[in-house]
Structure 1
Amino acid sequence: MKLFRSCSNPGVLLAAIAFAMAGSARTLAAEPDGQAQSAALVAKMSLTEKVAQLQSGAPADPRLGIAAYDWWSEGLHGIARNGYATVFPQAIGLAASWDTALLQQVGTAVSTEARAKFNAIGAGKDHPRYAGLSIWSPNINIFRDPRWGRGQETYGEDPYLTGRLAVGFIQGIQGDDPAHPRAIATPKHFVVHSGPEPGRHGFDVDVSPHDLEATYLPAFRAAITEGKAGSVMCAYNALHGTPVCADDALLTTLLRHDWGFQGYVVSDCDAIDDMTRFHYFKSDNAQSSAAAVRAGTDLDCGTAYADLIDAVHKGYVDEPVLDTSLTRLFAARYRLGEWGGATDAYARIGMDQVDSPAHQQLALQAAIESMVLLKNDHDVLPLHKGMRLAVIGPNADTVETLEANYHGTASAPITPLQGLRERFGAQYISYAQGAPIAQGVPVPIPETALRNDASSLAGLRGEYFDRTDFNGSPAATRTDRVIDFDWDSVPPIHGLTANKYAVRWTGQLVPPGPGDYTLAIHVDRCFDCAGHDPVRLYVDGRKVIDDSGDDTHLQASLHFADTHPRAIRLELVHSGQDQGIRLQWLAPSQAQWAAADAAAKQADAIVAFVGLSPDVEGEELKVEVPGFNGGDRTDIGLPSTQQALLEHLAGGGKPLIVVLMSGSAVALNWAHDHADAILAAWYPGQSGGEAIARVLAGDDDPGGRLPVTFYHSVRDLPPFVSYAMQGRTYRYFAGTPLYAFGYGMSYTHFAYADPALSSTQIKAGDPLQISATVRNDGKRDGDEVVQVYLDAPGQPLAPCHALVGFQRVHLAAGESRRVRFELSPRLLSSVDAQGQRAVEAGHYRLFVGGGQPGYGVGVNADFTVTGHQALPR
């Protein structure tokens, strides 16, 4: 009966019967929505087969002609964890572009590369983890507090900006054919999820109805109703006592009934098991799984759904409920064309599309558009040709601060040091590391402290072997400037395989000064895999680190009495699935400062690369050092090691340009007062170094704008664990920020004039149009982000200001343009204490300008709304 009820017309019915008779998932051409094929296939499954297919690592089923398919693939800012891919700026950097068209282009590139990797395996073949077309991105949680380590994965703190960028990215991922998407996007984590990381598996959010509707839901609503996302990921946390992945009111009533969602819901990884182990929602996974699938969680990332067999037998859930979820899942696989066919328009996408020249150019464009100029006293920027520059700081020459987290492997990453050398000439650049990221956090040993024995070149001699030992001659030899490599699923050099090799580096370690040093080896360990890569480090012939893959012996403390070079040898045997290696250290601060002084002495200006790194902010990290806890921050200021470095450098009296590389807002209070210029570069992706150099040189205008508020201190913020919005983000913060949401400078300047409304009085429920003229009044071409904010005086719970429109425009010097915005009733609405959204009568003001009212030039326009119009959820 299930089969016949799913067929709505005779043609579909006949197709389903034909499929059932054929007995193979591959024998039926795809229908537009895949429902008929899916229902027919599910009708033939045993309970055991059904339960296996409800887990993210869905196995092959030869009896039914089903290939194995792992649903877990990542594409936050490029296809992740599956070898070479174009690595775009981290999501927070993409958000700083305020460019919806750019986000759609990036999404298109991501899904194109996903298709290329999918096609390389072949339709109808088994696809392992990270090689599929179900992409678990974007992360559209609201970055409500800068302490959250995963905020870097989001589009910032504003629900409207987040929603618009999400729609663009989702449309890029999925393409313009709903019946056959290029890939399926999965906005996450639904809903009200933004830290803290410690305890994330079991915390309960008690958020007000107003904050839920006004802040936490709008971006997801846009992703579903406008972006037409094919999937949604439910979050770890509970909401008002019910784990989200078991919340029928969210997953069925709101998502499917109110918003019309037609896709499938996947759990965050192990979230179903969390319901038992940490939420204590049910006493075992059979009951937790039953509750989740009944509520509408179709797919379990994990293995907890294996207990659904027991759940059915014990009557916790009826088998037809499983059939509903399976029908949604297989419908998605049919729409994706997993089993191929002569009409597959995507079948011709080949590996030449991965990190293609066009995608490389797009990554550079995205990085350039993400740059936000925060300060530029006395027009110290752009830098002039022929200037001698001291490049100093822990983020000046590291790959990890380009790639961030959830990343692919960049084939040719360009660090800031490399980008500046290329743009200004190596002869004009001096370099010193200067400091670690934070107290107790090792950083890669810089080129200045490594020497190749044979040639005295900076770096170490690397010998690469095509086997897992060091016998015989190496397959290749080269000098590696630094040991800071991301080799996730790729060979270290051409000609080697990605899964079996060994590397030996030899040369000299040259301490910059006497003192106590910590040498460390960082290996990005694969998780959920068997075996890890052993590493060994020798100094002056003595083995100081010997680790077999258990991560217990990866640091050594040494004292160097002088700067005499020490013989060094590092060995890596890649026999598992680990993802690269870094040779790191903690050096004495006085020695680091002396090297920085020597670099600065040769220069006309200092460019200091400071900030954070994915080693200290990120998802559930095992780091507890001053200012950081488990991936989150306890202090939003610049870490003390770097703050001391900046103050030391300023004592030399030379112009100081600070480049902030981070995934979140950093309270640069001292730099705000004392540095000559500040540029926020985020984690800028594979071409970040080139983009930074181009902007510092004035080749491109810094047109990015802040997607988050920069506060002065954690004292400005409510408790991190509170999800109440009062006092948070530009919408509800009553204080004075260090740098405001929407803020950003340019090398030119803009003026606004002639605001015009379609009407100065409208009825509640009617749309409103506003336009204004923006003019580039400077002598340089530049980008402006025109922003529209609504003030709703008289609405007691309304935000201070609410972003309701934006456009990024490029204007030549002296050029003017008329910009127009259509404001829907939803954009003109407010939310009451009960969470009801409506357009209310009253007097309103719109501001059109280059930032928020009070933080950017612009013009006002007033209008009146009459009547009352309730709006749907």
Structure 2
Amino acid sequence: MGSDIATGWSTLTPIPNSELKSEGEAGLKGEYFSNNIFKGEPEFTRVDSIINFVWTPKRPINDLKSDNFSVRWTGALKPTESGAYRIGLKASSFAKLFINDSLYFEFSAEYEPKTKYFDTVLENDKSYNIKIEYNNVLSDPQAHLLWAKLDEDLITPAIEAVNKADVAILFLGLSPEIEGEEMEVKLKGFDKGDRSEISLPKNQIELMKKVHATGKPTIVVLMNGSALAVNWAAENVPAILEAWYPGEFGGKAIADVLFGDYNPGGKLPVTFYKSVTDLPGFKDYNMENRTYKYFKGDPLFPFGHGLSYSNFEYSNLKIADQVTLKDAINVSVEIKNISKVAGDDVVQIYLTHLDKQEQNAIRTLVSFDRVHLAAGETKTLNYKLDAEQYAWVSSKGKKILEPGKCIAKCRR
């Protein structure tokens, strides 16, 4: 509901059993073989209500002593609604999809599961014979028969739902299906899985603006594997939660944070830039203006940024005026929880060398510590930075300890 991940990339979901038929039952007939070439009689036959399997760690055939097995599914696709659809198959190893006895595609996925799809028009008074052949030889067997209805109005029902709600929680971001390496992705803003733009896809921005325009309190939850330039959200949405790709218990973790049952204390492990113009091109390997160490601009959210339901105050940062190259640098700082909520903060110590002979990092994170403080509590933290931590690496790859001025900063 709301929008697709990106224009031209419909979110594929398992075809429900209400749309599949086999021998009078809902679903497809599955014939399971204990070899990967459909040899001999199947070990067993059953009707699978939906084709949405990940056979890890348990294989579909009991006592199977290898990863070699195959499954043939047959039946009919009988859509309850006419319209334009995208039909897809996601699988590991080797797979084929037949519709009305015609091979629509076959593929091999030797390193990770692959998704293939085609667009077609289906009519609700017709039956389409379907056959899937899946041959597994790998250790992560899986197969999924998927679809999406195209040209569907996703925003209107989303806005209707928002108008009935007290708060709108928008889950926005990307997908491992479209961001990665060497992927068959042809979308604006993506180059074979690499990112040629770093903003949210435009259709998601449109949804966010329309939800915000309802006047309902809005929270944005980001689900992504790389930094996003969420400039409009940062200026207009009161709360943004970065969830990344959180795994099976992600929903519970997100709910715990949003309902206040857990006070977050995490920090960004990367810089969130405002625009792709802040970054060098793909083919430029120079470190100038890259990462928090070298970036001279104003980021949207800096490396190490992160808020919680607590507020903290830093004071009395102390460092020796002068040390020799053999000495450790002792740093101390006080942190106080000035809120009424117990919470964690991550104290971060950065060093900047001012007298380097070579161009080098503008700042370097040399130490950090996650600290829990009760409401009103104050703690003094002490850090001992040895020579390894304030050495720098030359263009010849050698660690160098160089005399000169150095600035220490404490950041949260």
Of 713, 717, 723 in structure 1, the residue corresponding to residue 285 of structure 2 is 723
Change (3 A) 1:748 1:783: same
Q: Match of 2:135?
A: 575
Q: Match of 2:367?
A: 805
Alpha-carbon offset, residue 847 of structure 1: 1.7
Of 614, 617, 622 in structure 1, the residue corresponding to residue 176 of structure 2 is 614
Q: Distance in 2 between matches of 1:489 and 1:536?
A: 29
Alpha-carbon offset, residue 809 of structure 1: 2.2
Of 195, 202, 205 in structure 2, the residue corresponding to residue 633 of structure 1 is 195
1:685 partnered with 2:255 = no
1:715-766: per-residue Cα shift (whole Å, max 9, x none)?
1112221111111112211111111010011111112233334x33211231
Structure 2 residue matching 1:591: 3-state secondary structure? coil
1:676 partnered with 2:238 = yes
Of 713, 728, 734 in structure 1, the residue corresponding to residue 275 of structure 2 is 713
1:760-799: per-residue Cα shift (whole Å, max 9, x none)?
3211231112122222222223221110011233436243
Q: Distance in 2 between matches of 1:435 and 1:451?
A: 24
Is contact 1:706–1:742 with CA below 8 Å preserved after alignment? yes
Q: Distance in 1 between matches of 2:255 and 2:148?
A: 28
Alpha-carbon offset, residue 496 of structure 1: 8.3
Alpha-carbon offset, residue 634 of structure 1: 1.0
One-letter amino acid matched to 1:773: E
Structure 1 residue matching 2:296: 3-state secondary structure? coil
Please report the TM-score for the alignment, with normalisation by the length of structure 2.
Answer: 0.81
Q: Distance in 2 between matches of 1:647 and 1:496?
A: 54
Q: Match of 1:749?
A: 311
Q: Distance in 2 between matches of 1:594 and 1:733?
A: 41
Is contact 1:436–1:586 with CA below 8 Å preserved after alignment? no
Alpha-carbon offset, residue 515 of structure 1: 5.4
Change (3 A) 1:696 1:479: farther
Of 376, 380, 393 in structure 2, the residue corresponding to residue 814 of structure 1 is 376
One-letter amino acid matched to 2:352: D
1:452 partnered with 2:18 = yes
Bigger helix share = 1
Q: Match of 1:768?
A: 329
1:466 partnered with 2:26 = no
For structure 1, the residue ranges without an aligned partner over 5 or more in a row are 1-431, 455-459, 527-531, 851-873
Is contact 1:804–1:823 with CA below 8 Å preserved after alignment? yes
Q: Distance in 1 between matches of 2:377 and 2:411?
A: 16
Structure 1 residue matching 2:155: 3-state secondary structure? helix
Structure 1 residue matching 2:245: 3-state secondary structure? coil
Alpha-carbon offset, residue 806 of structure 1: 0.6
Alpha-carbon offset, residue 453 of structure 1: 6.7
Bigger strand share = 2
Change (3 A) 1:484 1:657: farther
Q: Distance in 2 between matches of 1:611 and 1:676?
A: 17
Higher relative contact order by CA 8 Å / sep ≥ 6: 1 or 2? 1
Q: Distance in 2 between matches of 1:506 and 1:697?
A: 45
CA RMSD of aligned residues (A): 3.5
1:147-198: per-residue Cα shift (whole Å, max 9, x none)?
xxxxxxxxxxxxxxxxxxxxxxxxxxxxxxxxxxxxxxxxxxxxxxxxxxxx
Q: Distance in 1 between matches of 2:285 and 2:115?
A: 40
Q: Match of 2:8?
A: 440
Q: Distance in 2 between matches of 1:567 and 1:598?
A: 34
One-letter amino acid matched to 2:298: T
1:300-333: per-residue Cα shift (whole Å, max 9, x none)?
xxxxxxxxxxxxxxxxxxxxxxxxxxxxxxxxxx
1:521 partnered with 2:109 = no
Q: Match of 2:256?
A: 694
Q: Distance in 1 between matches of 2:286 and 2:212?
A: 40
Q: Distance in 1 between matches of 2:224 and 2:380?
A: 35
Q: Match of 2:71?
A: 501
Alpha-carbon offset, residue 581 of structure 1: 2.7
Q: Distance in 1 between matches of 2:220 and 2:127?
A: 35
Q: Match of 2:216?
A: 654
One-letter amino acid matched to 1:435: S
Q: Match of 2:406?
A: 844
Is contact 2:293–2:361 with CA below 8 Å preserved after alignment? yes
One-letter amino acid matched to 2:177: D
Change (3 A) 1:464 1:819: farther
Q: Distance in 1 between matches of 2:394 and 2:107?
A: 55
One-letter amino acid matched to 2:134: H
Alpha-carbon offset, residue 703 of structure 1: 1.5
Q: How does 1:241-640 map to 2 (within 5 A)?
A: 432=1, 434-445=2-13, 450=16, 452=18, 461=27, 464-467=30-33, 479-480=49-50, 484-487=52-55, 490-492=58-60, 495=62, 497=64, 499-503=69-73, 509=79, 516-524=84-92, 526=93, 532-537=94-99, 546-549=104-107, 554-559=116-121, 571-577=131-137, 579-640=141-202
Alpha-carbon offset, residue 437 of structure 1: 2.3
One-letter amino acid matched to 2:135: S
Is contact 2:84–2:151 with CA below 8 Å preserved after alignment? no
Change (3 A) 1:805 1:836: same
1:120-165: per-residue Cα shift (whole Å, max 9, x none)?
xxxxxxxxxxxxxxxxxxxxxxxxxxxxxxxxxxxxxxxxxxxxxx
Change (3 A) 1:477 1:775: farther
Alpha-carbon offset, residue 445 of structure 1: 2.5
One-letter amino acid matched to 1:741: F
Change (3 A) 1:553 1:633: closer
Change (3 A) 1:693 1:505: farther
Q: Distance in 2 between matches of 1:520 and 1:720?
A: 31
Change (3 A) 1:550 1:685: closer
Q: Distance in 1 between matches of 2:215 and 2:102?
A: 42
Q: Distance in 1 between matches of 2:364 and 2:230?
A: 26
One-letter amino acid matched to 1:501: V
Change (3 A) 1:780 1:474: farther
Q: Distance in 2 between matches of 1:548 and 1:823?
A: 57
Q: Distance in 2 between matches of 1:519 and 1:507?
A: 11
One-letter amino acid matched to 1:574: Y
1:326-380: per-residue Cα shift (whole Å, max 9, x none)?
xxxxxxxxxxxxxxxxxxxxxxxxxxxxxxxxxxxxxxxxxxxxxxxxxxxxxxx
For structure 2, the residue ranges without an aligned partner over 5 or more in a row are 21-25
One-letter amino acid matched to 2:221: V
Please report the TM-score for the alignment, with normalisation by the length of structure 1.
Answer: 0.41
One-letter amino acid matched to 2:336: R
Q: How does 1:24-39 map to 2 (within 5 A)?
A: none
Q: How does 1:770-789 map to 2 (within 5 A)?
A: 770-789=331-350
Is contact 1:451–1:510 with CA below 8 Å preserved after alignment? no
1:791 partnered with 2:352 = yes
Q: Distance in 2 between matches of 1:772 and 1:553?
A: 52
Is contact 1:703–1:782 with CA below 8 Å preserved after alignment? yes
Alpha-carbon offset, residue 569 of structure 1: 7.0
Change (3 A) 1:438 1:747: same
One-letter amino acid matched to 1:452: S
Change (3 A) 1:575 1:584: closer
Structure 1 residue matching 2:314: 3-state secondary structure? strand
Change (3 A) 1:748 1:484: farther
Structure 1 residue matching 2:209: 3-state secondary structure? helix
